[in-house]
Amino acid sequence: DVEAALRPIDAARDILRRTFGHSEFRGLQASVIEEILAGRNALAVLPTGGGKSLCYQIPALVRPGLGLVVSPLIALMTDQVAALVQSGVAAARLDSNVDPAERAETWRRIEAGELDLLYVSPEGLMQPWMLDRLARTPLSILAIDEAHCVSQWGHDFRPEYRMLGRLAELFPGVPRLAVTATADARTRDDIRHELRLEGAAEFVASFARPELILSAERKRGNVEKRVLELVAARPERSGVIYAGSRDKTESLAAALRTAGVPALAYHAGLDKRVRAERLEEFLEADAAVMVATIAFGMGVDKPDVRFVIHADPPASIEAYWQEVGRAGRDGEPAEGITLYGAADMAWAFRRIAERDVDEGVKQTQGRKVRQLYAMLDGVNCRAAAVRRYFGEEGVEACGQCDICTGEVETIDVTVAAQKALSAAHRLGGRFGRGRVVDHLLGKTKDVSDWEAGLSTWGIGQDLSAPQWRDLTEQLLFEGLLKEDPNDGRPLVGLGDAEAVRAVFRGERAVLMRKPPEGAEAKGGRGRK
């Protein structure tokens, strides 16, 4: 018969068109779906907006049985199920928000074989009675959404995801698909290991977002003023501004409104109803600015966001790409602008130090912070740096970020760096950054005989105070210096010993961005 002659992927394409209204598969969708339809496991890493959900929704409709989707957020499940039901798909969810009557009806449909897709939370799914009941139900696919939550290397770690590894033995023969938008090589290994996907084919899409125009600049002076300037230069456009605290979102939004910009604050401390209202207002506006903490994010899909400004830097390169990636979803040019400083980096390290996790995890998280700041403060194409970080090979410079288009000229400051490093060494980690600069310039107030007697006292008179401040900041970003938090009055000491030695031996050059023209006259506060 005709149906039988249809290849599985043709049946899938048919559903893509008839049920979802799309004419063709995008990117790696077809390959992922083919793998599942052949009954095999897979791991798919597709960027946000890459169409991950169809990768499991379609196999669930093509194959006989119930498709189970494990998802970490009730809001995401609710949205997806609502959209599916609207398209005429037999989908439902079982989470803590579902009332008993609806729950009973869902179970009835499951047991009658009427349901094609069921969304569950990991902790909900792994309850023994739930697994028992599902054991009697034929399954088409086990999909694990946001699979990076299983990895403790990332920032979204959810311990309950670890239990999902048991699905391999509980449901042998049911193809399992892990999908995520953010997984570097290490996280991918973790997903494979924890979710028992050892032999699974891996599909990693390109993370290129050619519509994104990226830039980053060090915080200098008043950050709020700088953000107002950036927004004022982009009138009548929608944007998202990420800020590091709830208070900051409120004060920034207020300052923007005073300046005549329709801005809203959004954070987890707001009443649920207020949040929903603001989200709706933002989604519907032609031009609105949302000033938010990272509570604003997953599942927000406004196609015409023209800029994302980080008033405070993100937590990692993964977070950066996800957050900046909320701009330009319509494929039209959009900007990602990040403001960052050494104090932000120090704060990130402090947060990690305070976490109640293994030492190894802390080290990895610390490395992620360092990688983020190396990218932000670096001299290489930003888009290329991010894509390489995600494991893409053969990546070329984007040609449009501030580095690619900028006059980023570098100067060799290895000798000055050696001076700063030996000063930090001689001062023995007892002083803050400002004091180290004073020492280099020989300008320490009421200097002690001990300090004045050090060989590094006043050896830095060839550079100005702002230049030394810039250089010490860069040395922090490169991990050559490090800051001990010391209860908010950070003390500067030497960083990675191996790297510091390499600089002293002249094996590692320290390159600095040439300061912009006129920067000196303005006391180092100028910018491009």
Instruction: Return the residues of window 355-384 that contact Zn ion according to CB under 5 A.
Output: 381
Q: Rounded to the nearest 5 degrees, what angle is found at the Cα of 453, between the Cα atoms of 450 and 457?
A: 110
Q: Does 208 bind Zn ion (CB under 5 A)?
A: no
When the beta carbons of 73 and 499 are compared against ligand ADP, the nearer one is 73
- Of 140 and 215, nearer to Zn ion (C-beta) is 215
Strand pairing partners for 265? 291
Residues 392-411 that bind Zn ion (CB under 5 A): 397-398, 401, 404
State which residue, 25 or 282, has the beta carbon closest to ligand ADP: 25
Helices and strands, counts by H and E, the chain: 23, 17
Among Zn ion, ligand ADP, none, what binds residue 149 when CB lies within 5 to 8 Å by partner kind? none
CB-nearest residue to ligand ADP: 51
Amino acid at 98: V
- List alpha helices for 71-222, DSSP H: 74-86, 100-111, 122-125, 128-135, 167-170, 185-194
Residue 45 three-state SS:
strand
28 binds Zn ion (CB under 5 A): no
Name the one range near Zn ion by CB under 5 A: 86-94, 246-254, 336-344, 390-398. Answer: 390-398
Q: Which chain residues interact with ligand ADP by CB under 6 A?
A: 22, 25-26, 29, 46, 48-54
Cα–Cα dist 66/11, whole Å:
17
Burial-class residue 47 by CB neighbours within 10 Å (0-12, 13-18, 19+): buried
Distance CA 516, CA 220 (A): 13
Nearer to ligand ADP, 29 or 151 (CB): 29
51 binds, among ligand ADP, Zn ion, none (CB under 5 to 8 A by kind): ligand ADP
Minimum distance of Zn ion from residue 383's CB (angstroms): 5
Pairing of strands 139-144, 263-266: unpaired
32-61: contacts with Zn ion (CB under 5 A): none
- Contact, 360 vs 367, CB < 8 A? no
Ramachandran category for residue 97: left, alpha or beta (phi over 0 → left; psi -120 to 50 → alpha): alpha
Q: CB of 84: closest distance to ligand ADP in angstroms?
A: 11
183 binds, among ligand ADP, Zn ion, none (CB under 5 to 8 A by kind): none
Return the number of the residue (17 or 443) whose C-beta is nearest ligand ADP: 17
- For residues 446 and 414, give the distance between their C-alpha atoms in angstroms, rounded to a whole number: 30
Contacted by 381, from Zn ion, ligand ADP, none: CB < 5 to 8 Å by type: Zn ion
Q: From the list ligand ADP, Zn ion, none, pick the one residue 321 interacts with, judged by a Cβ distance below 5 to 8 Å according to partner type.
A: none
Binding site residues, Zn ion, CB under 5 A:
381, 397-398, 401, 404
